[in-house]
């Protein structure tokens, strides 16, 4: 049975703007969702469709995509406030720090650009043309996709399964996105309405809105190795907290402010994880957010990039 909720906002847009880039906790959750549910606002706009234990190919995704989330310093407000005393930043001399971005000194000179906290997050699939410090880049498969093309292709049935659930749960938005993606078939993931999916590993996102996507609707899922608690997907405007775990599918309006609660482990979970060992081993001294966890949580965000339509 699918529960339907119609919710009034409990926070204003101005209140949420002030919270942008900050971490949110369970105090923002008034409705904990751990069951099949569709949620509408008071104008009957669909905000969330959530289904438990529907995705069947999580093991395939774990096998091929577990290592796809690489360190990034360009995730904006979602990477959270700059902490000068964190393991990553305390090794650097910071300048011009403001909320969730900062510059720093390189050989005594200011860095060329301001950056965000370093987190494990990587776009996979196609990217539109961009301008960078080292010159313009055309529309393309992302670098990490090209260098891991065999794994990318082998795991695509999982992304296609997500696309099929998108069609079932939000057919109107799915059709608009599919029609748009079909205008540039060289830059879409086969048999999906998506151009791109972002892999996030052990990444607690701070409050933010997604941008650069078409239509404002994205599909989210999780794969796991080991045990953990927390990480609920929160839309504080409506007091929604969704316990999305492996096998679940979430279709959400990501132009609403959203973020995740803290990831943590209990004593029993630590014992279980330590007995099974870490399969992703990295130097914790680097200080990338989430690097010291003894579990792996990969979240996927599947979407169509807005400017793909301009690709030649």
Check which CATH number belongs to the domain holding 166 and give it: 3.60.130.30
Kindly tell me if the per-residue pLDDT of 115 is higher than 90.
Answer: yes
Contact criterion met (CB below 8 Å) for 291 and 202: yes
pLDDT tens figures, 157-197: 999 999 999 999 999 999 999 999 999 999 999 999 999 99
Mean pLDDT along residues 140-163:
96
Structural domain tally of the chain? 1
The model's confidence at residue 136, banded by pLDDT at 50, 70 and 90, is: confident
**Residue 113: count of CB within 10 angstroms of its CB:** 11
What's the CA gap between 280 and 27, in Å, rounded?
32
- 205 assigned to some structural domain: yes
DSSP result, 211-257: -SBSTTEEEEEEEEES--EE--EEEGGGTEEE---TT-EEEEETTS-
Q: What is the CA radius of gyration of the chain?
A: 19
Q: What average pLDDT does this structure show over 43-49?
A: 97
**How does residue 312 score in pLDDT terms, banded at 50, 70 and 90?**
confident
3-state secondary structure of 184: helix
pLDDT at 133 over 70: no
| HEC letters along 53-96 | CCCCCHHHHHHHHCCCCCEECCCHHHHCCCCCCCCCCCCCCEEE
Half-sphere exposure of 262 (CA within 13 A, CB side): 8
In a domain, 223, yes or no: yes
> DSSP class of residue 18?
H
Here the tokens at position 191 are 């048999």
Judge whether 83 lies within some domain: no
Q: Is residue 204 part of a domain?
A: yes
- The answer to whether residue 154 sits within a structural domain is yes
pLDDT at 134 over 90: no
CA 80, CA 205: separation in Å to the nearest integer?
7
Within 10 angstroms of residue 274's Cβ, the number of other Cβ atoms is 12
Which pLDDT tens digit goes with each residue over 229-250? 999 999 999 999 999 999 999 9
Please indicate, yes or no, if residue 240 is contained in any of the structural domains.
yes
Average pLDDT of the chain is 95
Task: Please give the Cα distance from 263 to 84 (Å, whole number).
Answer: 21
Predicted confidence (pLDDT) per residue in 74-89, tens digit: 999 999 999 999 999 9
Indicate the pLDDT class of residue 107, thresholds 50, 70 and 90. Answer: confident
Greatest Cα-to-Cα distance within the chain, rounded to the nearest angstrom: 62
pLDDT reading at 251 higher than 70: yes
Q: How far is 218 from 302, CA to CA, in rounded Å?
A: 6
Residue with the bigger pLDDT between 229 and 137: it is: 229
Q: What is the pLDDT of residue 81?
A: 97
- Give the β-pairing of 140-141 and 296-303: unpaired
Q: Provide mean pLDDT across the span 42-57.
A: 97
Q: What is the mean pLDDT of residues 292-307?
A: 97
The reply to whether 59 falls in a domain is yes
Domain that holds residue 24: 3-71+125-310
pLDDT of residue 13: 92
In this structure, the dihedral spanned by the alpha carbons of residues 149, 168, 235 and 52, taken in order and rounded to 10 degrees, is -80
The answer to whether residue 146 sits within a structural domain is: yes
Full-model pTM: 0.95
Q: Please report, for residues 24, 40, 72, 273, the alpha-carbon distance to residue 255 in angstroms, rounded to integers and kept in the order given.
A: 17, 14, 22, 35
């Amino acid at each position: 049975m699918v529960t339907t909720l119609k919710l009034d906002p409990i926070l204003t847009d101005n209140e949420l703007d002030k919270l942008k880039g900050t971490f949110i906790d369970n105090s923002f959750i008034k409705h904990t969702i751990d069951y099949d549910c569709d949620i509408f606002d008071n104008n009957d706009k669909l905000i969330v469709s959530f289904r438990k234990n529907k995705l069947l190919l999580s093991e395939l995704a774990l096998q091929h995509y577990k290592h796809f989330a690489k360190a990034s310093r360009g995730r904006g407000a979602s990477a959270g406030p700059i902490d000068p005393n964190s393991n990553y930043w305390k090794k650097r001399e910071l300048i011009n720090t403001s909320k969730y971005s900062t510059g720093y000194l390189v050989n005594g000179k200011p860095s060329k650009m301001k950056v965000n906290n370093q987190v494990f997050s990587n776009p996979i699939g196609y990217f539109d043309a961009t301008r960078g410090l080292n010159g313009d880049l055309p529309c393309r498969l992302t670098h990490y996709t090209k260098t891991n093309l065999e794994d990318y292709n082998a795991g695509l049935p999982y992304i296609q399964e997500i696309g099929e659930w998108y069609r079932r749960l939000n057919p109107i938005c799915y059709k608009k996105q599919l029609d748009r993606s079909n205008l540039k078939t060289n830059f879409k993931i086969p048999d999906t309405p998506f151009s791109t999916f972002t892999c996030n590993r052990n990444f607690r996102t701070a409050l933010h809105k997604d941008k650069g996507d078409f239509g404002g609707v994205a599909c989210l899922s999780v794969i796991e190795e080991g045990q953990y608690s927390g990480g609920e997907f929160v839309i504080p405007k409506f007091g929604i907290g969704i316990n999305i775990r492996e096998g679940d599918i979430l279709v959400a309006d990501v132009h609403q402010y959203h973020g995740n609660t803290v990831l943590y482990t209990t004593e029993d979970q630590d014992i279980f994880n330590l007995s099974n060992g870490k399969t992703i081993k990295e130097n914790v001294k680097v200080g990338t957010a989430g690097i010291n966890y003894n579990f792996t949580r990969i979240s996927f965000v599947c979407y169509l990039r807005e400017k793909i339509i301009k690709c030649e």
